Amino acid sequence: MNIDEIKAQIAKETDPSMKKYFENLLGNAESIYAPKDDSRTVVVTELRITHQDKPEKDDIYQLDTDEDRKKMKKHPFTIIEGSNYRINVSFRVQHNIVAGLRIINTVSKHGLKVEEETLVLGSYRPQKEPHKVSFPKLGWNEAPSGTLARGEYSAKMVFIDDDKMQHLQLEYGFKIEKDSKK
């Protein structure tokens, strides 16, 4: 839904709660700077993996450029089996409101899909400061453990919205390793 469509919806809306919802969604979207030569609506800027047992050692990937995204694919991060971790994503929305943004994260090992998860992020308006989301929203993910869980994984993260617009497809890798301290 673009800004002009929301303004039209506000003008014709008779339900006060829906009118307020659309006004909040619009916010001050018109005053936000967005480069005219960058047509992207959602710009994913950073992926951060936070480890509960070593919070000072986050794995951080800048994702502003194609080169940054290629670099992430070549440099997998490591998770210790049975440890807790959280994935944090920072992104900007520019030009138009994005409705129903979600991430589809698919993980494979040896070419076989082992997990697919859809994370619903919500609707966002343009703003200069990045939006930040963490998943899980509460608590931590626990890495699998055991001999079969250890090894190298490949993954694909797709950012898509309710209009089926694919904003980014990101490929990355990670390893699950045995704790060397034990």
pLDDT at 95 over 70: yes
How many secondary structure helices (H) and strands (E) does the chain include? 3, 10
pTM of the prediction? 0.80
Percentage of residues of the chain with pLDDT beyond 70: 92
Lowest mean pLDDT, pick from 13-22, 72-81, 121-130, 160-169: 13-22
Q: Is the peptide bond before 16 cis (omega within 30 degrees of 0)?
A: no
91 close to 125: Cβ distance less than 8 angstroms: no
For residues 31 and 179, give the distance between their C-alpha atoms in angstroms, rounded to a whole number. 50
For residues 182 and 150, give the distance between their C-alpha atoms in angstroms, rounded to a whole number. 15
Tokens of 106: 């698919």
Closest CA to 119 of 155, 92, 158, 90: 158
Mean pLDDT value across residues 143-158: 95
Q: What is the dihedral of CA 48, 143, 67, 161, to 10 degrees?
A: -80
The helix/strand/coil state of 10 is helix
The partner residues of 115 in beta bridges, in order of sequence, read: 107
Which helix or strand (DSSP H or E) is residue 5 part of? helix 3-12
DSSP state of 130: P
pLDDT at 138 over 90: no
pLDDT at 71 over 60: yes
164 CB-near residues (< 8 Å, 6+ apart): none
Q: pLDDT by residue (tens digit) across 99-131?
A: 899 999 999 999 999 999 999 999 888 888 899
For residues 61 and 33, give the distance between their C-alpha atoms in angstroms, rounded to a whole number. 24
Q: Does the domain spanning 32-177 belong to CATH 2.70.50.30?
A: yes
Mean pLDDT value across residues 39-67: 90
Domain positions in the chain: 1-31, 32-177
